[in-house]
């Protein structure tokens, strides 16, 4: 699909033209959140004499890339035009042909990109091929925003491990639930709607079996324009997930239960009959599903972004071993109290204040009576 809504956009002569068109590419690319993995989110705009003559975004893996779709919409007007893209055009044959070939064939005079593609098959080679064909190439515009949009893609290309988001709804005193496990609902509708929009943009959402037993979640995205999550994952070392669990009754996404060798084969068969895909992964020192092993297994399924949604034990372990890259914490003006109420980060935590985890690039959102804090726990994605 292409986007014609900006077909009358013109260069306003304010010196911010390059960044403005790259921002448009980012807006277009974001429309496919949750749908393109293992490919990046990419939007493209073709501009001739200050007028947008073609614009599009990559919809999903295996379908035409944004650059080709935008060039198709531009047609003959692509000759001598500038093509903007939030990522370096590809130069290799995958499920679709190289975008650089289409750019050269269309007679584009100039290409402007935000960041280089770290895929070893590209990684600057796309820019080199364009320059070799006599096309002017510029990059680096809105690079940080472009890196954040494709944080999952960049991380998995560089490390082989998905980008991990930790999400929680909390009282002001940091409780996920009361001492009896009651947690519905800590936050209001606006906060829950935002959480669903975030969920819609990830490839997999992960919870522990305790959350399934306590809350019976569906783990689907009921708000937002994203396509995800493709996988609704339960970490269940001994296969205690009930076959009638709501997450097994949903049509959207694959219900995936990760367990250990200790699980009974009969329980596995019962859950598979109920519609679950059951995978055995390594156990940690306590006999629970090993989180790093889970991430490796999800990467093999083309998962680039993972959201951990709880409960307290899962988030505590993830924080303790340092696998969370970014957090979305939703706060309500409530005080729950109680030493046995479930915390965001239980266990021993850190011993000294200088060991405390400090968020980077923090953003705040007011959501009706509640608010959210977004920030990075690990080094944020950097453009190259």
CATH 3.40.430.10 segments of the chain? 155-376
> What CA–CA distance (Å, rounded) separates 144 from 150?
10
Q: 237-264 burial, b for 16+ CB within 10 Å, e for fewer? A: bebebeeebebbeeebbebbbbbbeebe
pLDDT of residue 225: 62
pLDDT of residue 61: 86
* CA neighbor of 219 nearest in space, from 342, 326, 309: 309
- pLDDT tens, position by position, 282-307: 999 899 999 999 999 999 999 999 99
Instruction: Give me 123's structure tokens.
Output: 């990684």
Assess whether pLDDT exceeds 80 at residue 175.
yes
Percent of the chain with pLDDT over 70: 94
The alpha carbon dihedral of 267, 268, 274, 276 has a sign of positive
| Helix segments in 75-205, DSSP class H | 99-106, 125-132, 143-149, 151-159, 189-200
pLDDT of residue 10: 36
> What CA–CA distance (Å, rounded) separates 354 from 213?
37
The confidence band for 12, taking pLDDT boundaries of 50, 70 and 90, is very low
Assess whether pLDDT exceeds 50 at residue 5.
no
Residue 179 · residue 340 · CB < 8 Å: yes
Instruction: Report, as an integer, the average pLDDT of 228-233.
Output: 90
- CATH of span 17-149: 3.40.140.10
Q: For all residues of the chain together, what is the average pLDDT?
A: 90
pLDDT of residue 7: 35
Instruction: Report, as an integer, the average pLDDT of 231-258.
Output: 93
Assess whether pLDDT exceeds 70 at residue 3.
no
Catalytic residues: 67
CATH class of residue range 155-376:
alpha beta
Burial of 365 (0-12, 13-18, 19+ CB in 10 A): middle
CATH 3.40.140.10 segments of the chain? 17-149
pLDDT of residue 224: 61
Q: What is the pTM of this model?
A: 0.89
- pLDDT tens, position by position, 272-282: 999 999 999 99
* Candidate from 148-157, 198-207, 223-232, 263-272 with smallest mean pLDDT: 223-232
Instruction: Report, as an integer, the average pLDDT of 65-85.
Output: 95
The confidence band for 227, taking pLDDT boundaries of 50, 70 and 90, is low
Instruction: With H, G, I as helix, E, B as strand and everything else as coil, classify residue 363.
Output: strand
Q: Give the other-Cβ count within 10 Å of 109's Cβ.
A: 14
Q: Give the other-Cβ count within 10 Å of 96's Cβ.
A: 17
Assess whether pLDDT exceeds 50 at residue 1.
no
Instruction: Report, as an integer, the average pLDDT of 216-228.
Output: 77
SS3 content of the chain, % helix, strand, coil (to 5): 30, 25, 45
Helices (H) and strands (E) in the chain, counts: 11, 16
- pLDDT tens, position by position, 321-349: 999 999 999 999 999 988 888 898 988 88
φ, ψ dihedrals at 137, nearest 5°? -125, 130
């Amino acid at each position: 699909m292409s986007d014609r809504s900006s077909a009358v956009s013109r260069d306003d002569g304010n010196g911010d033209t390059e960044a403005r068109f790259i921002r448009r590419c980012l807006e277009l690319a974001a429309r496919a959140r949750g749908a393109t993995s293992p490919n990046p989110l990419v939007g493209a705009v073709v501009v001739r004499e200050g007028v947008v003559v073609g614009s599009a975004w990559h919809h999903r893996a295996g379908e035409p890339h944004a650059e080709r779709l935008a060039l198709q919409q531009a047609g003959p007007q692509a000759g001598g035009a500038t093509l903007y893209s939030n990522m370096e055009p590809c130069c290799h044959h995958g499920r679709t042909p190289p975008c650089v070939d289409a750019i050269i064939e269309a007679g584009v005079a100039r290409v402007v990109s935000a960041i280089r593609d770290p895929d070893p098959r590209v990684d600057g080679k796309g820019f080199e091929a364009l320059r070799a064909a006599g096309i002017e190439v510029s990059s680096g515009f809105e690079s940080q925003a472009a890196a954040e949009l494709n944080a999952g893609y960049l991380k998995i290309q560089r490390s082989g491990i998905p980008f991990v988001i930790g999400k929680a709804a909390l009282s002001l005193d940091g409780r996920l639930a009361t001492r009896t496990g009651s947690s519905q609902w800590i936050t209001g509708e606006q906060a829950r709607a935002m959480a669903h929009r975030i969920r819609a943009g990830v490839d997999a959402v992960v919870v522990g079996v305790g959350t399934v037993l306590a809350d019976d979640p569906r783990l689907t995205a009921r708000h937002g324009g994203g396509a995800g999550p493709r996988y609704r994952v339960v970490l269940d070392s001994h296969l205690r997930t009930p076959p009638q669990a709501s997450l097994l009754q949903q049509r959207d996404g694959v219900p995936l239960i990760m367990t250990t060798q200790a699980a009974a084969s009969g329980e596995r068969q019962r859950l598979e009959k109920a519609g679950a895909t059951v995978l055995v992964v390594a156990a940690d020192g306590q006999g629970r599903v090993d989180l790093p092993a889970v991430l490796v297994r999800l990467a093999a399924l083309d998962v680039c972004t993972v959201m951990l949604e709880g409960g307290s034990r899962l988030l505590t372990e993830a924080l303790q071993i340092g696998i969370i890259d970014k957090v979305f914490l939703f706060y309500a003006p409530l005080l729950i109290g109680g030493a046995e109420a479930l915390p965001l980060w239980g266990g021993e935590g850190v011993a000294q204040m200088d060991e405390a985890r400090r968020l980077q690039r923090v953003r705040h959102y007011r959501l009706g009576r509640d608010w959210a804090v977004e920030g990075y726990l690990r080094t944020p994605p950097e453009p190259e």
